[in-house]
Chains A and B, each alone.
Chain A
Amino acid sequence: MIKQITLLALLVVTSITFAQHYKTYDWESQPRLHELSEAEKKSSSVRILQYHIVEYATAASNGKLKIFETTHNITRVNDDKGIDRHNTVYIPMYGVNNVVDIKARTLNSEGKITELNKDNIKEVKNVETYGDFKIFAIEGVEKGSEIEVLYTVEKTYDRHGSQTIQSDFPIRKAEFLFITGKLNENIKAYRTINQFETTSVNGKNAKVLKLNAVPAMIKEEYATPNANKIEVVYQCFPKEQNITQDMFWNNVVTNVGSQLFPEKYPEIVKTDVTAIVKDLNAPTRFQIVNLVDDYIKTNFTVIKNNNPDLSNLEYILTNRTASEFGILKVYAHYLKALEIEYEVVLTANRFQFKFDPDFFNPNALRDFLIYIPQEKKYIAPGQIEYRLGEAPFNILGNYGVFISKNLEYYFSKIIQNDKNYSRTMRSSNISFGKDLEYVTLEQHHEYTGFWSVTNRAVLNLSTEQALKQFEDYLTGSGIEDKVILSYETKNTEMLQQTYNLPFIVNCKLQSEALLEDAGDSYIFQIGKVIGTQSELYQETDRLNPIEMTYPNQYDYTLTINIPEGYEAEGLESINIKKNYIAVNGTEIAKFESKYEQNGNQIIITIQEFYKTHEFDLHRYEEFRTVINAASDFNKAAILIKPKG
């Protein structure tokens, strides 16, 4: 009898020792409203507490690993926008085996508690490409309420995981607790200087990251805010496995690479490639690969769904439909059939993820490119608007893992090969109608690089409604009463066999609004001719590093023909120069406008460029000055007055 009791006691102790933390973790039995600071009161909502627990555990029954994830949030909502932001909850069920518990309650400003009726939790299956969800609306929310949500899910074991900590509202206190016991683990926090502390939870090894006053991630311009949020990325695997980052990379390279460097190819591939190149006379390698890219993009469809056949080459070649990975096989086999050397690149959209070669995170490996080393050019299989050329701008600047034929790999930052790839050249010949009633502008524009890629995509893929808006944009958006007398575009097809051939716009416009009456003189709003330039504001501290869409350069020549009997005054406002000099002394960003007068002609030249797309956050003000110089020019006006 005594023996039995001891055993029982031991059992209890053991089970407590190894019990999962979520079992004892709970919210306060009596919630209370939190005091807000003045700044917090101004925000639409404030997260008072955000607590994540990720616990890797071994099932007693079968020794299998599983994960318990607990999320606990307390959020104060101050206004309608705050309520709308937090009164609906979506819990993704991806990888979830079992929902341990979901509960939610609201504490209103008068202390009334409304607890969620669990019958009102809805299940939504197979939502778009995101899997299943549990969703519910928070009950009893008013302005000034605190919403508290606490749930735990049990997931199938996954070696890798990540959690975004920062959000688009401020967080007073955030904690991430990572419990792994005796398992092996690696964990890394991004974009915070705070460090993980080692701790122990119920006798298990754990690490915790504590953050206070996490600012809201705001959508700043020239930035990648979604990719810049504070985030935790982790790995956890059994004790007997000792996996290094190199081994992870090797593994993915072998997995992916073995499927994408075929030795042989099916007959249909041969038929296809023969047909693709049959009309080419002494083609260059660029032209061949470019045609292959175009052929695949006009004969295959890439889709996301759960059909496993979408990565099966035979199925793909018959149905001409593939997953994002499956389409790579098509490229690989076509290129193999044409004996073109290539590398496969795994990388990420820099607006979503920052690729980290030092820490393997499969979540961030969502984009694939094919690199043609002899051409120093990329194919973007998943982006229908691109043809062989520079890497897409949403990848530019991110690192990628490059896999070559022998399944060797290296990391490299993905950069532009041609520094002057994207340019806009514009010449305008400006003359005035009888009695200075109106202005006529004859314009010739040339766009290269990403400008031309985007322009061609819009022209080819848009609806007519969008095309009308696009015509307005291409002919100069700042002139509100603009009448388009003529408009034509050239070199508009997405497939261009001459590399980086400019996209051309020729147009003739008329406007009265550009001329303001001033007694017997006229004020000519020359600044508006370059299109509306937005001012870059910064009233709060800049959070995000500066990243432009892509490096680019503008060269404008505006020739103003002053009518006979008149002369121009007030040309000084045209001379503007702002620049940004890099540490090494080179001018990497500039806006410069200047004029020269030649008889009755005034010739204004404007040059604006950004040689790189990344700028130092600490020199944001200098960068902003260059950007805003264009909006300064927007206000340039000259006086045209009778001679004498």
Chain B
Amino acid sequence: MKQLFLCALLLPALCLSQDFLDEDYLYLKRHEYIKVDMNKKTFTLEKNVYESAKYQTAKKMYFANESIYYDSFSVIEDIEAYTYHPETDKTTKVDYIETKRAFDNGIFYSDQESKNFIFPAVRKGAITNLRYNEIIKDPHFMGLFRFGTFVPTKEAKLTVEFPKHVTVGYIEFNTESITVDLKKTTKGKKNIYTWSINDIAGFQAEDDTEDPLHYLPHIIVYIKSYEHKGKTYNVLNDVNDLYKWYTTLVERIDSKNLNKVYKIAESLTKDLSTKHDKAEAIFNWVQDNITYVAFEDGLGGFIPRGAASVCEKRYGDCKDMANLLFEMLNHVDIEAYRTWIGTRNRPYSYYEVPTPMVDNHMIAAAVIEKDTIFLDATDRYVPYGMPSGFTQTKEALIGIDANNFKIVKVPLQEPNTSVTKVNSAIRLENGSIKVDEQRLLSGYEKVNMVSDYTYKKADKTEEEFLNTTLTLGNNKTKYSNIKKTHFDNSRTPLELSYTLHIDNYSKTIGKKTFINLNIDKTLSKSKIDNINSRKYSKKIDYKFEKKYTTSFTVPDGYKVNAIPKDFAFEHPNYSFQINYTQDGATIIQHKTIKINTLSIQKSEFESWNTFIKSLIKAYKKSIIIEQIS
């Protein structure tokens, strides 16, 4: 029964071969054995890792390159690795291991290192074996175990051995469709929990989907508490303990020499009367003046650097900016708090996962007239009042004081907060068309445009950037009179205007000329491919709305021959309406497109594709004008 259930859900991969015979490379075994020991009130944690993998072809020989990553919270010991050739019964050992660092685009300096080696003599049929110990220095960082990875696994097993006076918590993710076997046994003074699963298919990434943590089956195991001399001591029993631990880190923030910081806060707000205006001024200042540079160095990866230092250096990471905002806002009497949060990449809740795995980000939260405003200055262009897009819907852990916190959900931003309004006036001139267009972008629509304009423009000219970003008309569209105002992080919409000159766009045959008013065919490439084999939902970054008003001036000597009929697609999560009206010599098209969801579930794929297909169909309709003879 178990097999059948598995088969139905993982049909495409498993039907090919239950034994993964078609796979180039697979894990025969992936075992982790975590040993928790206590000496009085101190934990020692050791993780024994064992991996065995088989090369069924010579195509994926790059898997022979092995890297074991670790940071200053753990130590890697006793690496033993070798390649085994079943056909000759010969073994070749790894005899060279190198410790390396890497530069990361997102983190400027990190204490993460890796042990690197290559499995020798890997070829078709080879089996590699790896065993090592990881000493975990801090009981808060037990990490997670993946039952499934991107490579198929014949046998995955996690064992945790811990003293009976210790309580261990665990929570599984994405295991709804598979059966993980859990055995609880005891050995002397120890409890032993073992989770195991066999024949789990490889997970393949898909386009536009959530972070792999949303679909890879995995488990988080953590230490809840222990008993000592009849008393119970909590480690990470629930979010209260996580917060308690966070406050011990917050206590270590350097909060000296804040005079300069206070002076800036004062000068920014001295002429402003409302708290909102003051908070906005401070938020914008931090966005504008503190550049994101991240250092992850031991607990320095968790403790914000002092506001005075961040302000002086003019750079910092998320927690540094959050703490600076906290200091500046409170100084001008705005109630503000340091706030922990997991971005949309983390599929966890504070109520379920009371470990540092739950979050990966820090922001500030201000409370003004009972409104909670989430302030994420790492997003350089997000307007005051809106949370950063990647924190929407997520739980924020707002640190009130040493003993109190609040968990508040970051509100989902509705489509009417991220709007693109497009006004276009099209006219026909000597066979080509000219368009005067103005775009007003607000919310995340603005954030994305300003950010792309600033960073992706790269070496391109503005014209080439706009042409390849907006893809209006055809690939010969020429831009002139490009103007942009409110190109910043303010709440005022970004205004972008230009004149387009598009050759070969309208088509004249005989006396009739065909002109398609949909010069912007937004979303036409958004069909979800392979909907039968695709497994995971499509991720949408934010809800938005696009509103077009397009007018076409019928040239002298022409009459209107045909106007497309109105078109619409209605669905609560995605919809569009297009209608045409004629007013004398002017044809006006109104078009509204609304996306009202952050995710398209598998069950909705068909409906979404119908939406896109209807939109494409509507985009195909041209107006026809005819020369009056």
Contact = CB atoms under 8 A, between A and B. Distances in A.
Contacts of B516: 516
A634 interface: yes
Given A128-B100, A465-B204, A305 B313 contact: no
B448 interface: no
Contact of A142 (B289, B461, B530, B617): B289
Interface in A73-103: 79-81, 83-84, 87-88, 90
Given A79-B454, A299-B123, A512-B616, A137 B313 contact: yes
B379 interface: no
Interface in B338-394: 380
Contacts of B109: 122, 124, 135
A24 interface: no
B77 to A, nearest CB: 19
A216 B457 CA distance: 14
Contact of B617 (A114, A143, A168, A512): A512
A467 to B, nearest CB: 9
A81 B455 contact: yes
B562 interface: yes
B61 A298 contact: yes
B315 A137 contact: yes
B139 interface: no
Chain A interface SS verdict (over half): mixed
A298 B124 contact: yes
A301 B118 contact: yes
Contacts of A637: 507
Contacts of A516: 514, 516, 620-622
Given A83-B291, A135-B109, A137-B293, A539 B101 contact: no
A298 B121 CA distance: 10
A460 interface: yes
A480 B620 contact: no
Contacts of B612: 481
A255 interface: no
Interface stretch (A2-10, A317-325, A501-509): A317-325
Interface in B85-105: 92, 95-96, 98-103
A537 B464 CA distance: 7
Interface in A324-342: none
A641 B624 CA distance: 14
Contacts of B100: 126-128
Contacts of B467: 535, 537
A532 to B, nearest CB: 8
Contact of A87 (B293, B455, B620): B293
A87 B461 CA distance: 24
Contacts of A266: none
A570 B313 contact: no
Given A127-B103, A480-B527, A639-B507, A139 B314 contact: yes
Contacts of B619: 513
Contacts of B124: 298
B176 to A, nearest CB: 22
A210 interface: no
Contacts of B458: 219
Interface stretch (A197-205, A373-381, A517-525, A599-607): A517-525
B613 A512 contact: yes
B120 A319 contact: yes
Interface string A135-175: 10111111100000000000000000000000010000000
A519 B527 CA distance: 27
A4 B624 CA distance: 104
B588 to A, nearest CB: 20
Nearest to A138: B315
Nearest to A307: B96
Given A468-B530, A518-B622, A519-B561, A539 B461 contact: yes
Contacts of A168: 459
A319 B121 contact: yes
Interface string A625-644: 00000011011010101000
Contact of B616 (A142, A216, A299, A480): A480
Contact of B315 (A139, A305, A465, A634): A139
Interface in A519-565: 519, 523, 533-535, 537, 539-540
Interface string B503-526: 011010110101010000000110
B59 interface: yes
Contacts of B273: none
A534 B476 CA distance: 10
Nearest to B24: A460
Given A301-B118, A461-B59, A125 B101 contact: yes
B123 A88 contact: no
B411 to A, nearest CB: 27
Contacts of A517: 564, 620-622
A481 B613 CA distance: 7
Contact of A465 (B206, B312, B476): B206
Contacts of A301: 61, 64-65, 118, 122
B516 to A, nearest CB: 7
B116 interface: yes
A218 interface: yes
A468 B204 CA distance: 11
A567 B146 CA distance: 61
B620 A320 contact: no
A37 to B, nearest CB: 18
Contacts of B401: none
A141 B289 CA distance: 8
B98 A126 contact: yes
B616 A635 contact: no
A320 B123 contact: yes
B123 A141 contact: no
A513 to B, nearest CB: 5
B58 A513 contact: no
B606 interface: no
B120 A634 contact: no
A480 to B, nearest CB: 5
A176 B98 CA distance: 37
Interface string B194-226: 000000000011110000000000000000000
A303 B65 contact: yes
A515 interface: yes
Contacts of A216: 459
Nearest to B504: A635
Given A83-B291, A320-B121, A540-B461, A634 B616 contact: no
Contacts of B505: 635
A143 B512 CA distance: 55
A406 interface: no
Given A460-B59, A516-B621, A537 B461 contact: yes
A571 B143 CA distance: 65
B108 interface: yes
A137 B108 contact: yes
A320 B120 contact: yes
B289 A140 contact: no
Interface in B597-622: 612-613, 616-617, 619-622
Contacts of B461: 537, 539-540
A590 B507 CA distance: 26
A465 B509 contact: no
Contacts of A30: none
A359 B459 CA distance: 32
Contacts of B62: 461
Given A114-B313, A218-B459, A523-B507, 13 more contacts: A84-B455, A122-B109, A137-B313, A298-B61, A318-B121, A320-B122, A321-B121, A465-B204, A465-B205, A465-B207, A513-B616, A518-B514, A570-B507
**5 residue pairs, one from A and one from B, having the closest CB atoms:** A298-B58, A319-B120, A218-B459, A539-B461, A320-B121
Interface of A: 79-81, 83-84, 87-88, 90, 114, 122, 124-128, 135, 137-143, 168, 216, 218-219, 297-299, 301, 303, 305-307, 309, 318-321, 460-461, 463-465, 468-469, 472, 480-481, 512-513, 515-519, 523, 533-535, 537, 539-540, 569-570, 573, 631-632, 634-635, 637, 639, 641
